[in-house]
Structure 1
Amino acid sequence: MNGSDSAPLHRQGMDYGESEDVQKVHAAIQREKQEPRVGLEPLSLWLIGIYALAVFFGGAYLGRFSGSFSGNSLDPGTVPTKSHGPGPGGGGQQPQQELTPAERGKKVFAANCAVCHQASGLGSQSQGYPPLAGSEITNGGSRRAAMVVMKGLQGPITVKGQQYGSAVMQPWESLGDQKVADVLTYERQEWGNHGGPVTKEQIAALRKELANHPASFTGPDLEAVPTDANLPGGEEGAAPPKPGEQAKPGAPPQGSAPPATPGAQPPKP
């Protein structure tokens, strides 16, 4: 037997004795295209550009109108009014002016109180909402009006000779001392009312006083308070200082000597 025929039979395959060119076999494999696989497609450059523009303009808008990420940036009581008149020297806009307490209170009233008491302050007799215009509560002392705003009101109440009792007013102490003071100042000086201003210090003192008062006030509770009772800590009827101005010092008490003039001789006994 030949030496080539001496190989074991278990090592002889079906292609035993055949010869193939390795390059031809690999060339056939290279001609075959790779099967597509879902999820590995390249992202379009147009889509990348659109995403980049969206991120750019979104960041620019957020930086311009973010309101410094402040919780009260859209609060109507803190947004100043804009002046569109000519600025110093002719053109341009004047700097924004700070709102007065009554102007801030008007915004707070429009957002929270006008639904029931109406923008005219006349209320609604059919729905049981008492008027604020000409009311003895808003025109009297500041204490009763502040009590109602802070703790709310329930039950019948008589205003301007008419009885109102079908509606319940919720407490508004969650507004904060400044907003409560502003809305009370607005209500006491609008629609022909002649009440004095209310300060946030007065509301803060009343808040501490009513801290343990659990329920809303009733008509008898208000009737027990004198009509001219004012909140402590403020001069009733005094006009509030304008923004940027300090309150003028009051007159010296009676019986006190006037301030001494520099260089003047002291009075003889």
Structure 2
Amino acid sequence: MNEEPKEPARVGQGMDYGEQADVQQVHAAVQREKREPRVGAEPLSIWLIAIYGLAIFFGGAYLGRYSGNFSSGGLDPMGAPPPAKKAVAGPAGGEQAAELSPHDRGKKVFSANCQTCHQANGQGVPGQYPPLAGSEFTTGGSRRMGMIVLKGLQGPVKVKGQQYGTAVMQPWDKTLTDKQIADVMTYERSEWGNSASPLTPEQIAALRKELANHPESFTEHDILAAPDEDLSGGAPAGGAPAKPG
């Protein structure tokens, strides 16, 4: 009896999940797998984004306030216009720019050039720099004081009964103008309880010319040999300027 040949069983290709396998479960398992990270595609941290946002906000606020509208005058302090002077009532109801008094100008000169040695209170440094407050050279005739300021002072000197001699005062004739010297002397002669006559640039110019042939600093002997008098052409003795209110 002849038997018909049987067909060989087919072998499934690929993964065999069986007839009962659920395809959706397989897909779900694949979806649960994490993707491999890619370089340069990592998400930014929320804190980093917040920091960037704050930096941009405050940077914009700063530029908006201090940029000067990005004009050349606002960005260049040297090119900015000078501050306007305070206007005061002038003749016939007009206005004119208020100027500093000689006392106030002299205070600026003193702070920049003299305060380090003689101190802001005019008391100086014991044994080194003599005081200006109550000094016989400051409150006496302006000639002696002008000689010291213009040509300087070297060697020991006695002020208010105390000896000073460890420091030398430099001459200011090559550094300060006639107006600056007049202003600073006016300030010193009317500050710290002092009350002496003010000085004018014309008085200092005349004294500068008179001392032109004296190349060296004065000594105490030189100063005491000069007459204790006010320079000619100024206010009368005792006419100290009133301090600005």
TM-score of the superposed pair, with normalisation by structure 2: 0.61
Aligned counterparts of 1:179 and 1:134: Cα–Cα separation in 2: 22
Q: How many Å apart are 1:239 and its aligned residue? A: 5.0
Contact 2:189/2:196 (<8 A) preserved: yes
- Secondary structure, counterpart of 2:163 in structure 1: strand
Contact 2:132/2:138 (<8 A) preserved: yes
Instruction: Tell me if 1:195 matches 2:196.
Output: yes
Q: Kindly, what percent of the aligned residue pairs are identical?
A: 58
Show structure 1 runs of 5+ residues with no match.
1-53, 74-78, 89-93, 244-269
Contact 2:73/2:80 (<8 A) preserved: no
Aligned to 1:120: 121
Show structure 2 runs of 5+ residues with no match.
1-66, 90-94
Aligned to 1:211: 212
Higher RCO (CA-CA < 8 Å; seq separation 6+): 2
- Where do 1:177-188 residues align within 5 Å? 177-188=178-189
Aligned counterparts of 2:211 and 2:165: Cα–Cα separation in 1: 23
What amino acid is the match of 2:131? P
- Where do 1:240-259 residues align within 5 Å? none
Judging changes above 3 Å, is the alpha-carbon distance between structure 1 residues 242 and 220 closer, same or farther for their aligned structure 2 residues?
closer
Contact 1:122/1:132 (<8 A) preserved: yes
Aligned to 1:143: 143
- Where do 1:9-158 residues align within 5 Å? 57=70, 59-61=72-74, 65-66=78-79, 97-126=98-127, 128-158=128-158
Aligned to 2:163: 163
Contact 1:80/1:98 (<8 A) preserved: no
Aligned to 2:92: none
Q: Which moved more, 1:216-225 or 1:96-105?
A: 96-105
- Secondary structure, counterpart of 1:163 in structure 2: strand
Aligned counterparts of 1:207 and 1:142: Cα–Cα separation in 2: 13
Contact 2:144/2:223 (<8 A) preserved: yes
Judging changes above 3 Å, is the alpha-carbon distance between structure 1 residues 143 and 125 closer, same or farther for their aligned structure 2 residues?
same
Aligned counterparts of 1:205 and 1:62: Cα–Cα separation in 2: 45
Aligned counterparts of 2:241 and 2:134: Cα–Cα separation in 1: 21
Contact 1:132/1:138 (<8 A) preserved: yes
Aligned to 1:231: 231
- RMSD, aligned CA: 3.2
- Secondary structure, counterpart of 2:158 in structure 1: strand
